[in-house]
Amino acid sequence: MSTRVALILGAGPNIGSQVASAFQARGYKVALASRSADAAQNTDSKVHVKVDLTQPETVGAVFEEVEERLGTPEVVIYNAAVVNVTSAENPLDPSKINVEVFSRNLAINTTSVFAAAQATITAFAKLPDSASKTFLYTGNGLIAKSSPRLVDLGVGKAASAHLIQVLAQTYRGKGWKFYYVDERQADGGFSMPVSGEAAAEFYPQLAEGKEQETWLQTFVKGKGYVDFSGK
């Protein structure tokens, strides 16, 4: 059996570490990519790769390094996000967010997602039919309800959601899966930040699914997918 590899981009101490442990428990080798990655922590089944997601052009090199060290990733999780909180009265207040900051944040929230998706498609094409071939993007409810104070994060999530929807529609015939994953409370309210424990429970379930389900995966901890589209 070929080595199963999961790559987590934006691997922090919450979702990143807990999701990594969940995939390792299922026999995956795991690559954790972040700006603070420490290669001294590398093991035979887990590697840490430095990446600055404000620089989308460097994302491809992460995939190359992971393939060289562990193998071709069959599960890719994009978990990075950033926001500059503004005011409800003046969401474009230049003292809180200017064009330079907005562009930098958009690179993390969306442009590097595009770069990762391109590299993922290249990776998936190399894998056997038995591989999971799943791309997971950690989203939130800002695509369903706007928030003036989180305008740059909302713009990034909305743009990335469109990308995920396009990819899910385009590649479902190949058995490649693309998901925007949005944790909610039982009443449909936002969960921000996403619970690492909840993600560690739900993300492997999506990866182990045989076919593309609805691209927008709103889920509740302990329950799994819940359709909140009518609320």
CA distances (Å), 188 to each of 7, 45, 151, 230, in order?
29, 37, 21, 10
Q: How far is CA 226 from CA 150, 165, 188, 200, in A?
A: 25, 18, 9, 17
Selected residue with higher pLDDT from 146 and 13? 146
Mean pLDDT along residues 31-41: 87
In the chain, what's the furthest Cα-to-Cα distance?
57
In this prediction, residue 160 has a pLDDT band, given cuts at 50, 70 and 90, of very high
Helix (H, G, I), strand (E, B) or coil at 47: strand
The answer to whether 185 and 226 have CB atoms below 8 angstroms apart is no
Query: Domains (ranges, CATH) in the chain?
Result: 5-225 (3.40.50.720)
Q: Give the percent of the chain with pLDDT over 90.
A: 81
Is 1 a residue whose pLDDT tops 60? no
Q: Pick the catalytic residue: 133, 157, 174, 223?
A: 157
On average, the pLDDT of the chain sits at 93
Question: Rounded distance, CA 107 to CA 114, Å?
Answer: 9
Mean pLDDT, rounded, for 148-159: 95
User: Which residues are bridge partners to 138 per DSSP?
Assistant: 181
Per-residue burial over 127-141, b if 16 or more Cβ lie within 10 Å, else e, is beeebbbbbbbbbbb
Strands 29-34 and 46-50, sheet pairing = parallel
pLDDT of residue 219: 93
The Cα–Cα gap between 140 and 122 comes to 27
Better pLDDT: 14 or 50: 50
Nearest-angstrom CA–CA distance, 168 and 215: 6
**Is residue 231 scored above 90 in pLDDT?**
no
Q: How confident is the model at residue 124 (pLDDT cuts 50, 70, 90)?
A: very high
157 tagged catalytic: yes
Q: Looking at the predicted structure, is the pLDDT value of residue 179 above 70?
A: yes
Parallel/antiparallel/unpaired status of strands 29-34 and 134-138: unpaired
What pLDDT, on a 0 to 100 scale, did the predictor assign at position 68? 95
pLDDT value of position 215 = 97
Neighbours of 95 (CB within 10 A): 8
- Taking only the tens place, the pLDDT of each residue in 180-201 is 999 999 888 888 778 889 999 9
Q: CB-based burial of residue 77 (10 Å sphere; 0-12 exposed, 13-18 middle, 19+ buried)?
A: buried
